[in-house]
Amino acid sequence: MTIDSTRRIGFIGTGIMGKPMVRNLIKAGYEVLIHNRSRGSVDELTAESGAVTAASSPSEVANSVETVITMLPDSPDVQTVVFGEDGIVVAARPGFLLVDMSTIAPANTRVIAERLQVAGVDMLDAPVSGGDIGAINATLSIMVGGKPEVFERVKPLFELLGKNIVLIGGNGAGQVAKACNQIVVAMTIEAVAEALLFAKKNGVDASRVRDALMGGFAASRILEVHGKRMLDDDFAPGFKLKLHQKVMRIVMETAHQLGMALPGAALVTQQMNALVGSGDGDLDSAAIMKAVRRVQGGV
């Protein structure tokens, strides 16, 4: 049976976030052509559904569909997938659309979008927040940069993957919004860790302090979820610390380019650097508590 091209989509990067996103596209009736550097997730997805087909390269994906979503670890990965040997650009053509849902540097996003535009190819940057749980439940927050008319074309697709979908501005604006998100998240984790340790140092039950704060102006999702992780000393990853560190590196590099001082963000970035350097990069971001403890003498 011939599949309507509007119900076919390419997806490159089927890791912890990409894999459940592909599953949600399948549930919505899409045929998905996938490619990933390692084969494990590709084999798993193709075994699960006849609506998933594996491709041998990014160019093979792009040659067979009109729209490709990428969900990759970092800027160099996106550059390679788009412009490398057998990259997307080899098969891209006027009318083709790239939706990059990776988290990468805003400046790199703008360069990629400009190079693609020369070939008549539109691009949206659409990084997400919500972690693997949000990807599984299709409740991601999606921050989009690009042309309004292209956003409207893709919005129904975004609605299959997330709940809070906002066009921020032109290309790169989505990545700026994601960086802002991670600044707030990182500094709030730091604040929760310091508050709970302050309670403990004063001989007060930190779990009861958390319960009290949850009913006041200090209440937050981070106090609720990460605060509980800290109290339980449970740092099994939801969102790995090394991935959060990557975004904070992007934040600090961008701030340097702009001549900005971000003292709070710089502090938390150094906490993350220390943790990753000591082998804790695969723990959850809530493990920032471990760095704060060390400063306090291991409370």
For residue 2, the model assigns a pLDDT of 31
Cα–Cα distance for residue pair 198/33, rounded to 1 Å:
51
- Active site annotation includes 178: yes
The fraction of the chain above a pLDDT of 90, given in percent, is 90
Cα–Cα distance for residue pair 244/267, rounded to 1 Å:
14
Domain residue spans in the chain? 5-170, 177-295
Cα–Cα distance for residue pair 197/218, rounded to 1 Å:
16
Q: What is the arithmetic mean of pLDDT over 37-63?
A: 95
- Which tokens go with 63? 């040659």
Q: What is the arithmetic mean of pLDDT over 51-72?
A: 96
Cα–Cα distance for residue pair 267/261, rounded to 1 Å:
11
Cα 241 to the chain's mean position, in Å? 13
Domain 5-170 falls under CATH 3.40.50.720: yes
Q: Provide the β-strand partners of residue 32.
A: 9, 52
Q: What is the pLDDT of residues 240-257, one digit of tens each?
A: 999 999 999 999 999 999
pTM above 0.85, yes or no: yes
Residue 211: pLDDT band with limits 50, 70, 90:
very high
Write out the CATH class of domain 177-295: mainly alpha
H or E, element range at 273: helix 263-277
Cα 21 to the chain's mean position, in Å? 12
Cα–Cα distance for residue pair 16/282, rounded to 1 Å:
13
19, 178, 246, 290: which one is catalytic? 178
Residue 119: pLDDT band with limits 50, 70, 90:
confident
The fraction of the chain above a pLDDT of 70, given in percent, is 97
Average pLDDT, the chain: 94
Residue 4: pLDDT band with limits 50, 70, 90:
very low
